[in-house]
Amino acid sequence: MTDSISILSKVHMVLVLLFVISMLIKTILIFKSNESFDNYRAKTKMSEMLVTILFLVIGIILMVMKDFKFHTLFYLKLGAVVAGIPLGIIGAKKHSKVLITLSFLSFLGAYGLSEAAKKRGAQVEVATDIKTENLGKEIFTANCTVCHGADGKAGVGGASDLSVSTLSTEEAGKVIVGGRNSMPKFSYEGEQLKALTDYLESLKKK
């Protein structure tokens, strides 16, 4: 799922970039002459339509797949695209340098905003990673260090050395929830249990 999202995102970005480059060429040509602009437009009409439809459709599929949350950057981007299309169409009909330049700038802006949104998304992901890591550490420090020690190696009362444990996260989860001999039961589940077993994995690396 994550893989197909990243592939589709790349295809989407390439299509948008193609479209922006084509807009740039048209903007340059309209400043050169109406004729060269019309020639270019006639030649690229079909492929441009195809590119536009594809990037819009892939954009919508991506929104659904990513379980999309609407944010300000997205509205700005949508606004830029929605403004850019009629500006481009009217600009082309009237051979207006101003409208075509504005249309190009709208799409360029939308492209820039996508890049900015991508960076922001990446930051949010890192932040949640840090949060779960802290959660695992917190739970471990509060409940487990008495017997296992901060590094998992203390072995108080026969407690296993967690830094050399060969259990998978799933098996460790079962020991935590079900207990084993003098290892007490702990009623963790879901996100907390996952954070805790992930934290145990990090103890193994030391």
Positions that interact with ligand HEC (CB under 6 A): 143-144, 146-148, 157-160, 162, 165, 167, 172, 175-176, 180-184, 186, 196, 200
Whether 84 contacts 106, CB under 8 Å: yes
- Compare residues 18 and 159 and give the one whose CB is closer to ligand HEC: 159
Q: How far apart are CA 201 and CA 183, in angstroms?
A: 18
**Amino acid at site 153:** K
- Nearest distance, CB of residue 190 and ligand HEC, angstroms: 15
Give me the least distance between CB of 160 and ligand HEC, in Å please: 4
Q: Which is nearer to ligand HEC, 97 or 153 (CB)?
A: 153
Q: Between 2 and 181, whose beta carbon lies closer to ligand HEC?
A: 181
Instruction: Tell the smallest beta-carbon distance from residue 51 to ligand HEC (Å).
Output: 53
Question: Which CB atom, from 38 or from 133, has the smaller least distance to ligand HEC?
Answer: 133
